[in-house]
Amino acid sequence: MKFTQYDDQNVFAKILRGEIPCTKVHETEHCLAFQDIAPQAKVHVLVIPKGAYLSWADFSANASTAEQADYIAAIGDTARALGVDETGYRILANHGHDSHQEVPHLHTHILAGQPLGPMLEGGDLPPDTEYVRK
């Protein structure tokens, strides 16, 4: 799916407006962290900016320095609040079609609570894969 314009009817915009519930884990001036509704690990939390940003690409280009700083700190503070600093965690944010982004509001996944295995399901790339190097 290609998202070009922010859709204020997306599910995370509704959560931010309080139109649908979430299980809040952490909140800052610019961010909200809540439990993923379909967890893919024992710990699976999403951290979103309160501003209307489609994805990492939009946020990194257009969010204020204060919003960006708050977001980075909020992700680390959320992980600390979850108690997974010592055991470890994975953070990831999907942007755009190739990443399989489903919700068009920036969100960073925090996955933890168990060994998470290799980074990508499916393992190694096929031998004939052309790498993109710039």
Catalytic residues: 107
Given a contact cutoff of 8 angstroms between Cβ atoms, the answer to whether 75 and 59 are in contact is: no
In angstroms, give the least distance from the CB of 127 to ligand AMP: 28
Given a contact cutoff of 8 angstroms between Cβ atoms, the answer to whether 64 and 27 are in contact is: no
**Is 1 one of the binding residues for ligand AMP (CB under 6 A)?**
no
- Residue-wise burial string across 102-120, b where 16 or more C-beta atoms lie within 10 A, e elsewhere: ebbbbbbbbbbbeeeeeee
Out of 101, 106, 110, 111, name the contact with ligand AMP by CB under 6 A: 101
| Residue 50 region by backbone torsions, left for phi larger than 0, else alpha for psi between -120 and 50, else beta | alpha
Out of 3, 13, 16, 22, name the contact with ligand AMP by CB under 6 A: 22
Total chain residues near ligand AMP (CB under 6 A): 12
Options 35-43, 62-70, 81-89, 120-128: segment touching ligand AMP (CB under 6 A): 35-43
**Is 36 one of the binding residues for ligand AMP (CB under 6 A)?**
yes
**Is 119 one of the binding residues for ligand AMP (CB under 6 A)?**
no
**Is 116 one of the binding residues for ligand AMP (CB under 6 A)?**
no
Out of 1, 38, 120, 132, name the contact with ligand AMP by CB under 6 A: 38
CA distance 134 to 125: 19
Please name the residue that has the structure tokens 């982004």. 101
CA distance 12 to 120: 25
Q: Give residues in contact with ligand AMP (CB under 6 A).
A: 11, 20, 22, 36-38, 46, 94, 100-103
